[in-house]
Amino acid sequence: MIVTRKALSRRTLLRGAGAAVALPLLDAMMPAMTALAASPAKPVRRIGYVYMPMGATISAWTPPGDNLKVLSPSLQSLVNVADYVTVLTNLELRNAYPGTHATSNASFLSCAKAKWTESSDYFLGTTADQIAAQQIGQQTKLPSLELAMDLLRTVGQCDNGYACVYQNNLSWASPTTPLPAEAHPRVVFERLFGDGGSSADRLAELRQQSSLLDWVRDDIVRLQKQLGPADRRRVNDYLESVREVERRIQKAEAATQEAQLPDLDRPVGVPAAYADHARLMFDLQVLALQGDVTRVISFQLARETSNRAYPEIGVPEAHHPLTHHGGDPEKMAKVAKINAFHVSLFAWFLEKLKATPDGDGNLLDHCVYLYGSGMGNPDLHDHVNLPILVAGGLAGRRPGGRHIRYETPAPLANLHLTLLDRAGVKLEAFADSTGKIPELMEPLAI
């Protein structure tokens, strides 16, 4: 039996003065002509990238077998999502040589050779995320979202004659257009949900009122009258997630304002603890993907040459000096601890995606994320045998839990080309690619 009804637009927003809140995927967004026994609304494809700086202790990173039934020490935290994960061993970035921190970061998403310059005549290549944004990002409020963890951005020359722009920016819209990443949760929150008035006006209003959602309360009531019980639950859960993220930002702001000692490198609203900050940035990604505010995200967990210490995991020494370990087992073990800590934050994010309903599955089913570094052995500054993994349904939800090993080094560009294809972006080649990865090209589930 066929019925005629007006479907809710996928672009529906809850609007109020100075705010626009997108909605998660709802059954009410099905086409207007549909069968009574309709299947859940069809999800969209999404792609993301998370950068881990300064390579890894590869012996602690690499899984021992051809599957992930036994995880390596650095990847132990992925146990609950291992069936969504594929680890790839012996990928390389040839264009990152002569071997620097600057080129590691710059080449990770571009697979291009950075022009050696200390000035503003820098030149790289359009990055994979921005190629995706040009095709699948034009249907959303934000074509792409660029995030980072470091608020301090250096300028000038940063690494062996390479301009700092190469270390500061993962994403490039063109060979001459780097895209700055945002590390401040409040700014990201306003970018996702603010719509109207100046930035200062929106911030003042947010601090005056109990929640951004108060602005759109009338629209929420109106919408709920149009929805069935399952959709009402989805909307309520999503809005509660928005409210919870907002609470955490407000709590960080209050804690920073009450602190007696000034912190010039940490503007108001940034959690003091690295893990709290990272989880908040990951939560913002969940909201952005769930509300279809964007379908393309890049996230830099730390800059190359970062001297951040991690005393909370028993590593009080600065990260960068530890990576120049000279084969010292104690230093290598501490680098492995940092690697495992970073992966654990990513695993936490993947579990959040898995727990978030989306169409006929969950957000993790309908995403693909590339996690890794542009450097292999940091002591050598090499760009071969990179620590790389892929997570999400678009990478092959069933089967998952795989470890793909190459006997001889293969271009990281092959993986970019493959993942772009999985996200619906069709290219013949990307940078120095030699072809797609067959193991990741099974038929899509969506």
The pLDDT tens digits for 114-158 are 999 988 899 999 999 999 999 999 888 899 999 999 876 665 557
Mean pLDDT by 10 residues, the chain (446 residues): 49 56 66 43 86 97 95 98 96 95 97 93 96 92 94 63 92 95 90 61 51 60 69 70 67 56 48 94 94 95 94 97 96 98 98 92 94 96 97 69 95 97 94 94 59
Domain boundaries, the chain: 1-42+186-269, 45-183+295-440
CATH number of 45-183+295-440: 3.40.720
pLDDT at 22: 64
What's the N-to-C CA distance of the chain in angstroms?
Answer: 25
> Backbone phi, then psi, for 330, in 5-degree steps?
-65, -45
Tell me how far apart the alpha carbons of residues 240 and 259 are, in angstroms, rounded to a whole number. 29
Nearest to 319 by CA among 295, 288, 297, 341: 341
Helical (H) or strand (E) element with 337? helix 329-354
> Backbone phi, then psi, for 399, in 5-degree steps?
-85, 155
pLDDT at 35: 37
pLDDT at 402: 93
To the question of pTM greater than 0.75 for the whole model, the response is yes
Neighbours of 71 (CB within 10 A): 20
pLDDT, tens digit (0-9, with 9 covering 90-100), for 27-61: 667 654 343 334 455 678 899 999 999 999 999 99
List Cβ neighbours of 429 (8 Å cut-off, separation of 6 or more): 417
pLDDT at 272: 87
